[in-house]
Structure 1
């Protein structure tokens, strides 16, 4: 850091499993990625190429390598997995992972109807070769999944081999964990946390207010995802109590 401030919360250090930040790349150019990692590599743990944007990304292998050279793993969004599955192309999908030498994969069913046992079977197969992040929740705002089903699915997916489970919110943060207004479904989150260890969950939280809510609930080292590249350092200031929204949260008895 550039100077000393006392009484800041202690942030976990990379490589980390808590305080994990997943950034969403929706189509950055190679030059933009180079600039991004130059300014932000200390703060980002993994990058997701949003939904199926990797299908259209120019110079994909080169772009992946820029992230890798900065020590940042990448993975393809779960929607791409679903696009292969719905077309009966699971083996083709595995070959794509091998072609681009990816060590992480997302398994989701937010856009398709997939038997949950079958989803867990895919997780189990993939987990033999790569680290699996599995997503729970629907991208359909009209489909409300009760808390007990979130818990059952998260438990089953972790048991099948997922490293962490992701709470669905989409890019905009208006489905799954959140109401269409962006408001957190507080009861859902709190019920999930009664059964699933917080370090095993990445909460998709693209909106600032959502990030603030989770930091206040679970602290500076909550796992958060779907963060826009230009919102990464602002998120770090929220985590450290260096933005107005959490300014008093970590001061405790140290205020003047």
Structure 2
């Protein structure tokens, strides 16, 4: 930090298991990535190339190389995985991961119907090749999954070998963990945390109010995802109690 302040919560350091910030890249150019990394690399743990943007991104290998040079891993969004699965191209998906030197992959079923046993088998298979993040929750705002089922799905996917599970919210933060208004389904989150260790969950929380809510509930070292590149510094100040929303949260009472 640039100068001393007391009563700042202790942040974990990279490489970390808690306090993870997952950033969503929805189509940044190489120049934009370089600018983003200049200010935010220290606070970014992993980058997701949103949904299937990697399919149409120009200079994909060069783009991945810029992230790699900064020591930041990248993975393709879960929708791309689903696009391969629905076309019966799982083996080709695995070859693509190797071709592009991917060390992480996301397994999800937010856009298609998939049996849980099949999803867990995909996780088990991919775990032999890469580190797997598994997303739980539907992208369909009309599909409400009860808390007990979220817990059951998360447990099964962690047991199948997922490194962390991701709570679905989409890039807008208006499905899954959240109501259409963006309001957190508080009872759902609190119930999940009674059964699943906090360090094993990345909560998609693209909106500032959602990030504030999770920091207040879990603490400065909550894992959050789908953060916009230009919001990473802002999120870090929220984590440290240096923005109005959490200004007094970490102060001695």
Same fold (TM over 0.5): yes
Structure-1-length-normalised TM-score:
0.98
* Pairing 1:87–2:54 present: no
Give the structure 2 partner of residue 158 of structure 1.
158
Per-residue CA distance 1:53-82 (angstroms, 9 max, x = gap):
000101000000100100000000000000
Per-residue CA deviations over 1:73-125 (Å, capped at 9, x if unaligned) read 00000000000000000001001100000000000000000111000000000
Q: How many residues align?
A: 253
In structure 1, what is the Cα distance between the partners aligned to 2:240 and 2:38? 21
Q: Any idea what SS the aligned residue of 2:42 has? A: coil
Aligned residue number for residue 219 of structure 1: 219
Give the alignment's TM-score, normalised by structure 2: 0.99
Give the match for residue 17 of structure 1: 17
Take 1:207 and 1:238, find their aligned partners in 2: how far apart are those partners?
12
Q: Within the alignment, does 1:193 sit opposite 2:169 as a pair?
A: no
Alignment correspondent of 2:121: 121
3-state DSSP class of the match of 1:64?
helix
Q: Which residue of 2 aligns with 1:209?
A: 209
| Other structure's SS at 1:75 match | strand
Secondary structure at the counterpart of residue 176 of structure 1? coil
* Structure 2 SS opposite 1:41: helix
Q: Any idea what the Cα deviations from partners look like across 1:203-247, whole Å, max 9, x if unmatched?
A: 000000000000000000000000000000000000000000000
Residue in structure 1 matched with residue 111 of structure 2 by the alignment: 111
1:58 aligns to 2:71 (yes or no): no
In 2, the alpha carbon distance for the partners of 1:18 and 1:118 equals: 29
Query: Over aligned residues, Cα RMSD in angstroms?
Result: 0.5
SS in 1 for 2:183: coil
Name segments (4+ residues, structure 1) moved above 4 Å.
none
- Flag structure 2 segments of 5+ consecutive residues without an equivalent: none
Q: CA deviation at 1:129?
A: 1.4
Distance 2:3 2:37 in 1: 22
Separation in structure 1 between the aligned mates of residue 39 and residue 158 of structure 2, nearest angstrom: 34
CA distance in 2, matches of 1:249, 1:114: 41
Tell me how far 1:252 sits from its aligned partner. 1.8
Shift of 1:197: 0.4
Structure 1 gaps of 5+ residues are none
Could you tell me how far 1:2 is from its partner in structure 2? 1.1
Task: Give the SS at the match of 1:14.
Answer: coil
1:150 match: secondary structure: helix
Q: Please give the secondary structure, in 2, of the residue aligned with 1:33.
A: helix
Match of 1:3 in 2: 3
- SS class of match (2:165): strand
